[in-house]
Amino acid sequence: MAVIAIERMGLLSVVCVSLFFSSTFAVDRGNFKTCDQSAFCKRQRALKPGQSPYRALLETLELSDSRLTLQLINDNNKVHLLLELYRLQGNMTRVKINELKPLRPRFEVPDVLIAEPPTEPLSVLSKDDNGVVLSLGAKNQRLIVSARPFRLDIMQGPEVLLSLNSRGLLAFEHLRLHKDTQAQPDGAEVKESVDGDQQQDEGEKDEDGESDKEEDGLWEETFKSHTDTKPNGPTSISLDFSLPGVEHVYGIPEHADDLKLKTTDGGDPYRLYNLDVFQYELYNPMALYGSIPVMLAHNTQRTMGIFWLNAAETWVDISSNTAGKTVFGKMLDFVQGSSEKPQTDVRWISESGIIDVFIMLGPKPSDVFSQYASLTGTQSFPPLASLGYHQCRWNYNDQEDVKSVDQGFDQHDIPYDFIWLDIEHADGKRYFTWDPHKFPQPKEMLQGLMDKRRKMVAIVDPHIRVDSGYKIHNEITSKDFYVKNKDGRNYEGWCWPGNSGYPDFTKPEMRAWWSSMFAYDQYEGSMENLFTWNDMNEPSVFNGPEVTMHKDALHGKWEHRDIHNIYGLYVQMATAEGQTQRSGGVERPFVLTRAFFAGSQRFGAVWTGDNAAEWGHLKISIPMCLSLGLVGVSFCGADVGGFFKNPSTELLVRWYQTGAYQPFFRAHAHLDTTRREPWLFGPENTALIREVIRQRYALLPYWYQLLYQAHKTGMPVMRPLWVDYPKDTATFTIDDEFLIGSDLLVHPVTEEGSRGVTAYLPGAGEVWYDVHTFQKHNGAQNLYIPVTLSSIPVFQRGGSIIPRKDRVRRSSACMENDPYTLYVALSPKKFAEGELYIDDGHSLNYDTKKEFIHRSLTFANNALTSSNLCPDCNFLTSSWIEKVLILGASKPSKVLLKMDGKETPVDFEFDTSMSVLTLRKPGMNAGADWTLLLQ
């Protein structure tokens, strides 16, 4: 939560009160910087495309087996840069640019890459005075280094896939001495701004360039009442990328915007700077809680990715030569044979650090996902229960309240797995403690939940109350683990508890200590069914600049400026590690985070922060989670119902229906909202919500298998349609419907009073089955679907097999041993395939001991066969196959089960109207080899 209850925060400074009072139900934009108010962004953006002053010094080229280095020189100021090029395994290229001899080391982001990426040999194909041509291995792919001006082009055959610095926007503000102490190094001309570095045309490059220095915010910058001291002066970097033939780019979350990124001409660039934005606005490029500097570029031929590994404040400009054109204009170009090829140009600007870019060359969407996964890891494999329904509220008041909500679910026969406690549960917002009046017996409460096979999440935020009576604070102080301010004293800021310190999570020792705090003997009142929620980890500092930490605060030798966007990742990393450790490395952790960075997918789930009970926020939850999924974070969700304000009953029902088909499914509400447990809106609405939560639980085997797949391969769970239909341009901008895996297509109803939706069913020659009625529809059409309040348009792809557990119980754990029903949806060619994944649902034994079942299910030639995808795996299940539904089938004369060399007949029923064949109780164990023959 970002909002503060003033009444309960008597401590809060006047600054904060005015900060939050000034906003009604819209973000107060004045609290957050525009590019113009961010000195480096303004400087960099003032630089326009043109001739680059950078030149490659080919004589400095050095080529080892897998690494090429080369110096670049800026002809304006003679500063030398070092370019490093790597060819990485899996069709990727890494480009690093740093100063050759920086005054001090520049920050390079650690802990994001899971390992030093394995390289492949680079070879020089040709070299002359103009440049070098390198081979990128197979498929006729080459990397061309042009010397004057410096640029890089990645080619395949005659086609340019991507160019760097083709617009001359490479700009590297080298480290320098402040004017007071400045010496002229090596007689080189020292220029202070990007403009000075590059733009000749002004013709007014006075020798010291000091005239506008302070105004430019080079050595100091003030925003509102906050001054950033910038002891290192200007350090920003920028580079442009051109993508010929590309009209669609995606990614760079987190923004409350459409899936397809827009051009930023005439507005602000997309901003990546983790911020606690109070009541965020929709459809704009403002920064939000998390940042993943990864962009995907897609056309019918190829999907590529750009991963800009930099944790400082970053802005991304996008322009396109077709953006302004109407369809008619494009047609005219085509008819007239216009030579102009569509092209998207992208420019990245960061405040500090180095240029470290990974170019993922695809070519298929799935290739890009696995390429990115090979760099930063995959989605953590969550405990099965965390895919169930989560009931949260700020706040469940006390143990009694928790108990009665828990009973409410049973009384109304609604399943749920987790109940959540927000900040009020802790004693005076001292995390790792319990309010002695409201939660005097946490273990008793947790045991009560455990008896129902349910779980709890309690919040642990990274701001620590400065209080000499608080163990956590005292230990952090004595170990000197707090972030420091610019003067070297402990940094303090205001957050929920009042005056707070911020542990320096960039320190491995600090993280190790934090992890140890989750041990059962340290975290009093905790049990194995207690999990964690990290909120406010941007970090949120109520009285800081832009509600976050001062950039000149210090993390050891690095400034907060350098590491800002990765702080939240570290918090979740240390928390998840603590949960793993408390079980001796046996159990999977579950940690939800609000702030995130590239790599955060390895540590748990992400939600889209403090949204509002408005239809627009329901709608935006789809592109927001789709964007996250494209860049690795599959376990995404939005607060069901909307955090701020009270949803109408219709909105709440629609939100449940949407949330039930998104990966992380949690209802949450602000302290000031009225209660909204699912049964408080009359029996009819209770029934609607119950129904959709039950649909979620029935599909848990499918969700679980998809999370396993995401964990193994990096494939997103919730996907835009174009991921599976990359050649169908009609899918490229769709973000009001989505796929779950490849096999379920969901078009949630997100309009008030809707009587129908139009869903696009992709795939020429394919069919889709309505999962509720089993009615068959052809692919490659826009299908109008009339809806009522009970409708949730969901379709299963013809050609797929989805396992379900149709016996929905009160929690996922209760369903552990229940039998499966297989939903076999036949393609027009009477074919279907799917998978079934089973393990214990909570431990790491699937990984450490290969204790799981992974089976391939195939329907072909009138036979459904289960075969083992992991023969050396070892897991026993008591689940069995109770039913098989074959959609689009014809009536057989006989059905036989072939198993263990025996054939036994199986009862069946055939529904002629919908062509559904139901096999009654074949009864085989879910882990066995078997074949069902239709004759």
Partner 1 sequence: MTCVHLLLTLVFAVSLGTPVEIQRPRGVPLTSIQFYVENKPFTCLDGSRTISFDRVNDDYCDCKDGSDEPGTAACPNGSFHCTNAGYRPMFIPSSRINDGICDCCDTTDEYNSGAKCENTCKELGRKEREVLQKMAEITKEGFLLKQHLIEEAKKGQQEKQSKVTDMQGNKKQLDEKVEVLRTVKETAEQPEKEAKERHLKAWEEQKAAIRLEKDKAKMAEAFLELDDNADGFVSVSELQSHAELDADADGTLTETEAQGLMGGAEQVDTSTFESVWPNIKDKYHSEVSREEADMSCLVSSEVPFGQKVFFLEKTVVKLSAQKARDDFEEAEKALREMDDQIRNIEKELSFDFGPDAEFTYLYSQCYELTTGEYIYRLCPFNRVSQKPKYGGSETNLGTWGSWSGPENNKYLLMKYDHGTGCWQGPNRSTTVKLTCGKETVVTSTSEPSRCEYLIEFTTPAVCQEPANTDLSPHDHEEL
Q: What residue ranges bind partner 1 (CB under 8 A)? A: 3, 5-7, 397, 400-401, 413, 437, 451-453, 671-675, 694, 806-810, 813-815, 817-819, 878, 880, 882-883, 920-921, 923-925
Euclidean distance between CA atoms 197 and 191, whole angstroms? 6
Q: Residue 875 or 880: which CB sits closer to partner 1?
A: 880
Cα–Cα distance list, 901 to 731, 840, 864, 896, 916 (Å): 47, 29, 16, 12, 28
Q: What's the angle, vertex CA 297, arms to CA 294 and CA 303, rounded to 5?
A: 110
* Exposed/middle/buried for residue 34 (C-beta within 10 Å: 0-12, 13-18, 19+): middle
How many residues in total does the chain contain? 935
669-707 burial, b at 16+ Cβ within 10 Å, e below that, comes to bbeebeebbbbebeeebbebbbbbbbbbbbbbbbbbbbb
For 366, 716, 740, 823, 835, the CA distances from 798, given in Å and listed in that order, are 21, 20, 14, 11, 15
- 534: preceding bond cis by omega (within 30 degrees): no
Please, which residue, 545 or 922, has the CB nearer to partner 1? Answer: 922
Q: Which is nearer to partner 1, 178 or 921 (CB)?
A: 921
State in angstroms the smallest separation of the CB of 644 from partner 1. Answer: 9
Q: What's the per-residue H, E or C state across 776-806? A: EEECCEEEEEECCCCCCCEEEECCEEEEECC
Find out whether 168 and 49 touch, Cβ atoms under 8 Å.
Answer: yes
Nearer to partner 1, 209 or 641 (CB): 641
Rg of the chain over all Cα atoms, to the nearest angstrom: 28
Residues 6+ positions from 473 with CB-CB distance below 8 Å: 430, 464, 465, 466, 467, 501
As measured in angstroms, the least distance from the Cβ of 817 to partner 1 is: 7
Q: Residues 29, 31, 33, 37: is their CA dihedral positive or negative?
A: positive
Sign of CA dihedral 592, 597, 598, 599: negative
Q: 337 in the Ramachandran plot: left (φ > 0), alpha (ψ -120 to 50) or beta? A: left
For 433-493, the DSSP string reads ---TTT-S-HHHHHHHHHHTT-EEEEE--S-EE--TT-HHHHHHHHTT-B-B-TTSSBPEE
- 689 or 815, CB closer to partner 1? 815
Tokens at residue 733, please? 């901008």
Nearer to partner 1, 397 or 931 (CB): 397
Distance of closest approach, residue 807 Cβ to partner 1, in angstroms: 5
Task: Rank residues 454 and 511 by Cβ distance to partner 1 and give the closer one.
Answer: 454
Cα–Cα distance for residue pair 135/129, rounded to 1 Å: 18
What is the SS3 assignment for 856? Answer: strand
Q: Catalytic amino acids?
A: 535, 610
CB of 452 to partner 1, least distance (A): 6
Least Å from the CB of residue 424 to partner 1: 11
Question: Where in 245-364 does DSSP place strands (E)?
Answer: 248-251, 270-272, 294-298, 303-308, 314-320, 343-350, 355-360
CB of 659 to partner 1, least distance (A): 21
Residue partners of 573: CB distance under 8 A and separation at least 6? 111, 505, 511, 602, 603
C-beta of 633 vs 853, nearer to partner 1: 853
Contact 62, 173 (CB under 8 A): no
Alpha-carbon distance values, 595 to 318, 369, 387, 607, 695 (Å): 24, 22, 20, 9, 30
Smallest Cα–Cα separation from 241: which of 313, 316, 173? 316
User: Could you tell me how many helices (H) and strands (E) the chain has, helices first?
Assistant: 17, 54
Structure tokens at 131: 């440049």
- In whole angstroms, the minimum distance from the beta carbon of 453 to partner 1 comes to 6
Nearest CA among 534, 653, 637 for reference residue 595: 534
Nearer to partner 1, 401 or 833 (CB): 401
Q: Positive or negative, the Cα torsion across 144, 145, 149, 151? A: positive
Local structure of 638: helix, strand or coil: coil
Q: Sign of the C-alpha dihedral, residues 198, 202, 203, 206?
A: negative
- The closest alpha carbon to 598, from 290, 255, 292, 254, belongs to 292
Closest to partner 1 by CB, 343 or 695: 695
Q: Which residues contact 207 (CB under 8 A, 6 or more apart)?
A: 189
Nearest distance in Å: CB 322, partner 1: 45
Token digits of residue 478: 């004595």
Judged by CB, which is closer to partner 1: 90, or 448? 448
